[in-house]
Structure 1
């Protein structure tokens, strides 16, 4: 897809803008490596550092290719700027494709998550500050592995000629803003298997304070709340809660905080079996359900099967 979305070079280079020392209206992009701490645990410090550096280097090449500027590197994350949203979003798609198409990185299940927002920024030395930076940072926090998250403002300024699809992930609170903002996922993949997530009903996420959903599996706990309104479960390492079994899909299910309710959506081949209060052995397949109180769920297998992997959940 990246080769189809090249944007022509602009006569005004990023270096000219950076050297002008003026406030500007730019597209800000954050990209970071998903769950990079696992790399250090798995491969050791030296090898993990090489993997992180190599991945960031691959991302920086796409920034250069699409006439952007790398502002800084923060651990496993890069911050970039572009003169318009088209270039930022096309570069984001190219980054995802580059990582996914790299044989070694793909074999190690390396993935990145990206956030983009367009707005006013302030230059201080070689760094950028301002509302656009803060919102773009929030966008990358909302993104899951292999996702590109942006804002309604960015979507509104993008050229229709790009032909990129998007889906709303809802209205979400951003620190420092009185009102919520609508965020969107950019659909960059052509693989039909990856479209399962897009095909399900979309819920408006409202960052209602209070209320936490806890998911526990084999000693690991994942929490959903106003600060983290989305999470994923599945076989792939990129998921927030990983359940490694052959009958579990790579991206098996998603959970979203929707108007104060926790919504579980199945995207898998084999579905989810749920026991929740008086509701026993509910089978969820390509559909959504509101979780209440506490209970258990089994991904891809019935509770009566000896190899069922039970995930416990509770809402407080």
Structure 2
């Protein structure tokens, strides 16, 4: 039998992967866990086909798919997040999904695809989380106006297997009521904004609302459940075009800026920027509750 010659083409490449599926077998039992995972995977396949995509292969608890248009990939990402979130058992057992897609050249040989674009899409999906797909800028600029309001820029990152840093955005896939807006983010204003992630929710801090409070007290903006956190643990403020983190705790706030060493902040303040994480009362490696942030603009 003669082999199908390789074909080079450009397309949108999407990866989707279930998160938390391994623990299901212990918590639900083999039969019930397999049935739920299979239902999720079938829903993911149906989403691809329903958006005029092609399932290249199943990848363990996920899939690889291609699309002619980036809008179709975005449609699929939204549908997958919606469908998985809508399954009561998936929600109860904290089963989530990560998605990411990129647009670029691939080599197609029979039933598989190869190339840097495939690797980029895979790495982007690893950065995804519940309610957001990670999209390369190459894909984001090809999205129609219908999707543009759902896209927010992220800092470029170096990802495994790619020599250059990858410019990326997030595509919001969660329902609007799951996003808490502090200030407002407008991609065309040039204003500085900070996007803060915790517990599947998103807060936006900017010039219109300058303060975000974190701690164990019920009256704060971000309720931290780590026992080592103080009731009024720390504040994140926007002052004079800078983001200022002020620690008010007993055990300190541990700050990690991507690419730098973690440091502890105790009863003092510091300017933070870029992409990083906050842990409360202990280093991030030992923390049970972590906040992630991105500075935009």
Q: Which residue is equivalent to 2:209?
A: none
Alignment of 1:1-316 (within 5 A): 21-196=6-181, 201-202=193-194, 234=199, 251=201, 269-272=221-224, 282-284=233-235, 289=245, 291=255, 292-294=262-264, 312-313=282-283
- In the alignment, the residues of structure 2 paired with residue 38 and residue 78 of structure 1 have an alpha-carbon distance, to the nearest angstrom, of 19
* Contact 1:100–1:106, Cα closer than 8 Å, also in 2: yes
Q: Secondary structure at the match of 2:162?
A: coil
Q: Secondary structure at the match of 1:40?
A: helix
Q: Secondary structure at the match of 2:98?
A: strand
Question: Cα distance, 1:164 vs. partner?
Answer: 3.8
- In the alignment, the residues of structure 1 paired with residue 54 and residue 150 of structure 2 have an alpha-carbon distance, to the nearest angstrom, of 25
- In the alignment, the residues of structure 1 paired with residue 183 and residue 17 of structure 2 have an alpha-carbon distance, to the nearest angstrom, of 22
CA 1:20–1:107: 2 relative to 1, 3 Å: farther
CA 1:30–1:79: 2 relative to 1, 3 Å: same
* Contact 1:295–1:313, Cα closer than 8 Å, also in 2: no
- In the alignment, the residues of structure 1 paired with residue 183 and residue 88 of structure 2 have an alpha-carbon distance, to the nearest angstrom, of 26
CA 1:145–1:198: 2 relative to 1, 3 Å: farther
Q: Could you list the per-position Cα deviations for residues 107-155 of structure 1 after superposition, in whole angstroms to 9, with x for gaps in the alignment?
A: 4333211011011111123111111100000101111223211011111
Q: Secondary structure at the match of 2:40?
A: helix
Q: Secondary structure at the match of 1:202?
A: strand
CA 1:158–1:270: 2 relative to 1, 3 Å: closer
- In the alignment, the residues of structure 1 paired with residue 15 and residue 183 of structure 2 have an alpha-carbon distance, to the nearest angstrom, of 23
* Contact 1:118–1:153, Cα closer than 8 Å, also in 2: yes
Q: How many residues align?
A: 231
TM-score (norm 1): 0.61
Question: Cα distance, 1:47 vs. partner?
Answer: 2.2
Q: Secondary structure at the match of 2:282?
A: strand
CA 1:283–1:99: 2 relative to 1, 3 Å: same
Question: Cα distance, 1:22 vs. partner?
Answer: 1.8
CA 1:37–1:77: 2 relative to 1, 3 Å: same
Q: Secondary structure at the match of 1:158?
A: coil
Unaligned runs of 5+ in 1: 1-18, 204-230, 235-249, 254-263, 297-309
* Contact 1:272–1:284, Cα closer than 8 Å, also in 2: no
Question: Cα distance, 1:72 vs. partner?
Answer: 0.8
* Contact 1:273–1:282, Cα closer than 8 Å, also in 2: no
- In the alignment, the residues of structure 2 paired with residue 152 and residue 105 of structure 1 have an alpha-carbon distance, to the nearest angstrom, of 31
Q: Which residue is equivalent to 1:246?
A: none
CA 1:270–1:161: 2 relative to 1, 3 Å: closer
* Contact 2:18–2:98, Cα closer than 8 Å, also in 1: yes
Higher strand share: 2
Question: Cα distance, 1:24 vs. partner?
Answer: 1.1
